[in-house]
Amino acid sequence: MTWENLIDPTLLRPLLANAASDCGGLGTYAWAFGQGVLVDLTPCVYPLIPVTVAVFGAKGVSKGRALFLAASYVLGMAALYTSLGVGVALAAGGVGFGTWLANPWVVGPLVLVLLALAASMFGAFELQLPSALENKLANVGGAGPFGAFLMGLVSGLVSAPCTGPVLLNLLAYIAVSADRPGGVLYGGSLLFTYALGMGTLFFAVALGASLFKPGPWMDHIKSVFGIALIVMAFYFMRPLSPALSDFVINPQWGLWLGLGLTVAGVAAGAVHRSFHGPLSEKLIKGTAVAVASFGSILMLNNILWVELTADWHEVETMDELEAAVARADEAGKPILIDFGASWCNPCHELEAKTFSAPEVEAELAKYELVKIDVSDPSDEQQAMQSAFHAAELPSVVVYTAGSGLGERMADVRAGKAQPEPAMHVTTFIDAPAFLERLSGTGAPDPRAGICSRS
């Protein structure tokens, strides 16, 4: 491999995109675990870890006893966070929250909340429980396994000024993913993993480890979370406009430009400077945060950007669909119709991991390819969904050459259900499985719907 290939972002992008878009994949769980570890390093949690461990009795006892007590405390945290993850997944999945993300009236308030939480991480204000409630929660629990469990159960509330913004960020992500099969299990397990990340230092101290001295570096961790929340706010804005989601500057080097800007912003003071200093420092900090955030956003867009080289035709109207069907009939080709939406994560997974695979693109050259974006469907697009049984997303249908689809276009226009297609994919499948299904030798479609619009 040459040096040019080694730094070619087109080789790096699929690996990063897989981690970013793989709902429930190891990359997502590692991300949640890492956030739990970093939260431990914030001013609301880190200085209290040795005190907490001493209160529930893990000092001066055997290592086995200390490990048991620390596990009880961490399980208390896990019970709280897992319950929240399950509750949000149930609520969001029940109302189809993912489908709302193409609506500016939903996304706008969500983005404002995330930006406000980012401001709190930079010290603009603090999320604070009422003092009476905070005092009561501080006295919950005590020595022994049950006391440790109760302390862990309320710890997330006591440390809310630092943990609250991170937790809400994770809950928003879970809400977006709740429409996928197993969304409830995913939501609970993701926050259970987050709790395990938070528990790492408690285990370490219980087993006798010494911590670094608390200091200003704890506020630096909060600044990292502040930048992450800004980037997450942009992530929720991406489905609103192709201009936002397709902003990569240049797919060949945009990723590296974003990385360079992020590093430059951090070096200039996005993390280690403070908004509480003199005006000059505030200006430097603000500029550095803006540069680092812009660089991170540019990296995100380049990581998620997918270039499809096959001859896809975007279809918005019935006339355009009829023209595509006529081209297929004239060329004697089968037709493949891909229904997707900006808010549908599995649809993006299909593009990033399946449609863009070279072996799949080579096979798709034999098909008339149609893409129908139903993020905000018109009446005609809703009729297309009804005709092709495509209420669930993703929905990829294939009609063979000579299927007579062109002769039934009047029924399609009326939204009348068409005969079952030769292939109908309603869930993410990888490139080899897709090719197998495309050849007609694969297993029957499990019809596991991912996203739906009621």
Q: In this predicted structure, which of 103-107, 232-236, 383-387 has the lowest mean pLDDT?
A: 103-107
In a domain, 285, yes or no: no
In this structure, the strands spanning 451-452 and 392-393 are: antiparallel
pLDDT the model gives residue 5? 43
Across 131-145, 150-164, 312-326, the highest mean pLDDT is recorded for: 312-326
Q: Scan for tokens 């390819």, then name that residue.
A: 369
CB-CB contact of 102 with 342 (8 Å): yes
Q: What is the DSSP string of 41-95?
A: TSTTTGGGHHHHHHHTT-SSS-HHHHHHHHHHHHHHHHHHHHHHHHHHHHHHHHH
In a domain, 88, yes or no: yes
Q: Name the more confident of 58 and 175.
A: 175
pLDDT band at 160 (very low <50, low <70, confident <90, very high): low
In a domain, 284, yes or no: no
Residues 6+ apart with CB under 8 A from 283: none
The amino acid sitting at 271 is: V
Confidence check: pLDDT of 368 > 90: yes
| CATH classification at residue 444 | 3.40.30.10
In a domain, 296, yes or no: no
Tens digit of each residue's pLDDT (9 = 90 or more) over 290-328? 999 999 999 988 888 888 888 899 999 999 999 999 999
CB-CB contact of 89 with 188 (8 Å): yes
* The model scores a pTM over 0.85: no
Pick from 219, 340, 338, 210: which is nearest to 270 by CA?
219
> Are 185 and 53 within one domain?
yes
Exposed, middle or buried: residue 409 (CB in 10 Å: 0-12, 13-18, 19+)?
Answer: middle
Host H or E run for residue 373? strand 368-373
pLDDT band at 99 (very low <50, low <70, confident <90, very high): low
pLDDT the model gives residue 448? 42
Confidence check: pLDDT of 440 > 80: no
pLDDT (mean) for 423-438: 88
pLDDT (mean) for 4-9: 45
> Are 170 and 58 within one domain?
yes
In a domain, 279, yes or no: no
> Are 341 and 228 within one domain?
no
pLDDT band at 21 (very low <50, low <70, confident <90, very high): very low
pLDDT the model gives residue 268? 93
In a domain, 403, yes or no: yes
> Are 160 and 19 within one domain?
yes
pLDDT band at 181 (very low <50, low <70, confident <90, very high): low
In a domain, 30, yes or no: yes
Indicate the number of domains in the chain.
2
> Are 140 and 24 within one domain?
yes
pLDDT band at 22 (very low <50, low <70, confident <90, very high): very low
Q: Name the more confident of 317 and 133.
A: 317
Determine the Cα–Cα distance for residues 164 and 427; give it in Å rounded to an integer.
Answer: 34
Residue 327's φ and ψ, nearest 5 degrees, are -65, -40
> Are 236 and 365 within one domain?
no
Q: Which domain holds residue 132?
A: 3-240
Residues 6+ apart with CB under 8 A from 47: 214, 218
Confidence check: pLDDT of 113 > 70: yes
pLDDT the model gives residue 441? 33
> Are 9 and 121 within one domain?
yes
pLDDT band at 164 (very low <50, low <70, confident <90, very high): confident
Exposed, middle or buried: residue 445 (CB in 10 Å: 0-12, 13-18, 19+)?
Answer: middle
Q: In this predicted structure, which of 25-34, 86-95, 153-162 has the lowest mean pLDDT?
A: 153-162
Determine the Cα–Cα distance for residues 200 and 213; give it in Å rounded to an integer.
Answer: 17
pLDDT band at 266 (very low <50, low <70, confident <90, very high): very high
In a domain, 8, yes or no: yes
Domain boundary among 240, 262, 292: 240
Pick from 440, 450, 454: which is nearest to 182 by CA?
450
Q: Name the more confident of 176 and 237.
A: 237
Secondary structure (3-state) at 9: helix
Domain boundary among 240, 267, 290: 240
Neighbours of 426 (CB within 10 A): 24
pLDDT (mean) for 227-233: 91
> Are 220 and 326 within one domain?
no
Q: What share of the chain is helix, strand, coil (3-state, %, to 5)?
A: 65, 5, 30
pLDDT (mean) for 140-146: 66
Please give the mean pLDDT across all residues of the chain: 81
Confidence check: pLDDT of 119 > 70: yes
> Are 7 and 134 within one domain?
yes
Domain boundary among 222, 240, 258: 240
> Are 124 and 222 within one domain?
yes
Across 94-108, 194-208, 430-444, the highest mean pLDDT is recorded for: 194-208
